[in-house]
């Protein structure tokens, strides 16, 4: 089984939080009043039904007050009921935090894949504005911020905060404080990543008041939303990517560009073979689907047997999965666009507008091929900006053996991830986002934009907020922000350490080594330095980060 994502974590957990609150409120009221006396002071049955019928924690407490007999001490009982209510809120908040703390701990210690790895898990959240949903969001973020054990940064779950105007993007939005907290946690723990529901290709599916229409992501980029198989079920829950296969773009660039001479790129030949390659991948994906479709419900007791997958609740244990799996996606991947463009034009898309135009043409060609397969087979073919953590090194090794060392193409350890701008190219955050954003619209199977900040961002969450806003305004669908995360396992300090821990003064190698490895979330990133302001990251010095700082 591959990665698993919960698309609406806050919405799913909120009912449980509400039930916990109701339990605590009833317990507190019974604990506050002696049970034998309470029947004279309050109508127990009515109180129980009243509390049980509430849809949210923030109900009007005057509903409780009306149960107080007129002959009783009204003010005293009202104050006592207020205490019960407030205590129930506090206890529910505590229980929710402990639940989130346990979730994070379990997902970093519970082994899967034959014991080789902990579950590859993702949680999407951030848009539930109910008091219960907000309590889930807050406490999950706080659990992530606290870290594991002595403060170690958790690797899983991959937390994904969904950003939406009118919900949490603007200061007047009800969950804006949750976005602020998310930025604070990201500044320390690398997560959450950020999904942007206002990106045009995500917004088109959004329906106000329908959480299942909010686009979510899995892991470092996978996206599933459109559904040509059943247009009425273009929703995020109960679906997933069945499999994807990646096309080696640099190899085609070498064959039809550099191999013919820098000024003799054969674009007709390039697109002809690219089309043939897409057709080959399509056939392979369909073959894999046929094998998957022969499996039975009983082979997947959780996903299918428990009705997790769309329409699987209608099947019996001996039924095959053919119709149910059609809600999923079959995906063609893109890798090494940067090296492909260098091989064809001499420059990548960060260096030349002409190369950018060609890059978009190439990816658009592949997207149109996927769309044509959707129309022909009535199945969900999509295009993904492949993560390629391992494939980027494997492909280049094979091509280097075949074509030799080619400057800026095969003379390194890996191809550039998907459609990203070359990792070693110096470019501003704003320019990088502007170049990569159009590819997000084309890669409907998944995409991500990475920005790496150089500096102690833990002291300045405003830097994270600025980048989030730049991503939103550029039309990015999904983005992540990275920075160095060093840790002293002795005193628990987390941040930039260097050779000496700034908290306890311990040098690397004394007692145990310092953990000086930044925990990156993907394979290829850009490296930026945010302004040379001496106090930019000094927590004792108030400051703000201008967009201009990120453009330098």
Task: Determine the Cα–Cα distance for residues 236 and 225; give it in Å rounded to an integer.
Answer: 6
Give kind and range of the element (H or E) at residue 18: helix 9-32
The whole-number pLDDT of residue 544 equals 33
pLDDT in tens, 500-520: 776 666 766 666 665 554 433
Q: Please, what is the end-to-end C-alpha distance for the chain in angstroms? A: 43
Q: Find the mean pLDDT for residues 427-435.
A: 94
543 pLDDT above the threshold of 60: no
Task: Determine the Cα–Cα distance for residues 399 and 381; give it in Å rounded to an integer.
Answer: 28
- Residue 381, SS3 per DSSP: strand
pLDDT in tens, 193-222: 999 999 999 999 999 999 999 999 998 899
Only one residue has tokens 């009982």, namely 77
The region of weakest confidence among 64-73, 174-183, 307-316 is 64-73
Strands 158-163 and 478-482: unpaired
Q: Which candidate, 283, 298, 299, 289, places its Cα nearest to that of 322?
A: 289
Residue 149 backbone class (left: φ over 0; alpha: ψ -120 to 50; beta: rest): left
Question: What is the reported pTM?
Answer: 0.88
The region of weakest confidence among 30-39, 178-187, 412-421 is 30-39
Task: Determine the Cα–Cα distance for residues 99 and 83; give it in Å rounded to an integer.
Answer: 24
Task: Determine the Cα–Cα distance for residues 45 and 50; give it in Å rounded to an integer.
Answer: 8
| Cβ neighbours, 10 Å, residue 265 | 20
pLDDT in tens, 61-95: 899 888 887 767 889 889 989 999 999 999 999 99
- Residue 329, SS3 per DSSP: strand
Give kind and range of the element (H or E) at residue 194: strand 193-196
The whole-number pLDDT of residue 528 equals 30
The whole-number pLDDT of residue 336 equals 96
Which two three-digit tokens encode residue 246?
A: 């990646």
Q: Which candidate, 124, 125, 189, places its Cα nearest to that of 151?
A: 189
pLDDT in tens, 370-398: 999 999 999 999 999 998 778 999 999 99
43 pLDDT above the threshold of 90: no
Q: Which candidate, 91, 443, 408, 76, places its Cα nearest to that of 246?
A: 443
């Amino acid at each position: 089984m591959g990665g698993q994502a919960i698309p609406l974590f806050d919405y799913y957990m909120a009912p449980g939080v509400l039930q916990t609150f109701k339990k605590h409120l009833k317990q507190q009221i019974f604990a506050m009043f002696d049970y034998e006396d309470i029947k004279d002071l309050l109508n127990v049955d009515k109180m129980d039904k009243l509390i049980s019928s509430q849809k949210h924690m923030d109900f009007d407490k005057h509903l409780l007050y009306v149960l107080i007999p007129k002959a009783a001490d009204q003010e005293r009982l009202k104050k006592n009921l207020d205490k019960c209510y407030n205590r129930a809120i506090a206890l529910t908040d505590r229980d929710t935090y402990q639940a989130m703390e346990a979730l994070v701990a379990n997902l970093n210690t519970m082994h899967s894949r034959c014991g080789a790895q902990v579950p590859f898990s993702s949680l999407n959240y951030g848009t539930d504005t109910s008091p219960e949903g907000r309590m889930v969001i807050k406490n999950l973020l706080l659990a992530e911020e606290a870290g594991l054990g002595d403060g170690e940064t958790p690797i899983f779950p991959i937390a994904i905060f969904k950003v939406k105007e009118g919900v949490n993007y603007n200061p007047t939005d009800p969950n804006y404080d949750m976005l602020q907290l998310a930025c604070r946690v990201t500044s320390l723990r690398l997560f959450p990543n950020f999904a942007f529901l206002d990106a045009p290709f995500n917004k088109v599916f959004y329906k106000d008041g329908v959480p299942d229409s909010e686009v979510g992501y899995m892991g470092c980029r996978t996206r599933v939303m459109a559904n040509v198989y059943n247009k009425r079920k273009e929703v995020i829950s109960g679906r997933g990517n069945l499999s994807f296969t990646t096309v080696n773009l640099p190899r085609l660039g070498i064959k039809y560009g550099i191999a013919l001479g820098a000024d003799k790129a054969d674009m007709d030949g390039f697109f002809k073979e690219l089309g043939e390659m897409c057709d080959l991948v399509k056939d392979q994906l369909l073959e894999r689907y046929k094998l998957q479709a022969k499996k039975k419900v009983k082979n997947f007791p959780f996903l299918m047997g428990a009705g997790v997958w769309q329409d699987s609740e209608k099947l019996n244990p001996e039924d095959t999965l053919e119709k149910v799996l059609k809600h999923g996606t079959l995906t063609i991947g893109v890798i090494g666009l940067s090296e492909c463009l260098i091989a064809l034009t001499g420059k990548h898309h960060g260096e030349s507008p002409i190369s950018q135009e060609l890059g978009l043409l190439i990816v658009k060609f592949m997207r149109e091929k996927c769309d044509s397969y959707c129309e022909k087979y009535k199945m969900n073919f999509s295009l993904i900006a492949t993560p390629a953590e391992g494939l980027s090194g494997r492909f280049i090794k094979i091509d280097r053996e075949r074509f030799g060392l080619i400057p800026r193409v095969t003379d390194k350890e890996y191809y550039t991830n998907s459609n990203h701008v070359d990792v070693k190219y110096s470019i501003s955050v704003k320019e990088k986002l502007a170049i990569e954003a159009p590819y997000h619209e084309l890669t409907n199977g998944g995409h991500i934009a990475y920005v790496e900040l150089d500096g102690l961002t833990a002291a300045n969450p405003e830097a994270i907020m600025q980048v989030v806003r730049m991503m939103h305004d550029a039309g990015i669908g999904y983005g992540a922000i990275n920075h160095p995360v060093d840790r002293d396992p002795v005193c628990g300090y987390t941040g930039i350490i260097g050779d000496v821990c700034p908290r306890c003064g311990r040098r690397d190698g004394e007692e145990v080594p310092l953990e000086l490895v930044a925990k990156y979330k993907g394979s290829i990133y850009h490296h930026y330095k945010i302004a040379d302001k001496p106090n930019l990251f000094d927590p004792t010095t108030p400051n703000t980060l201008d967009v201009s700082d990120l453009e330098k």
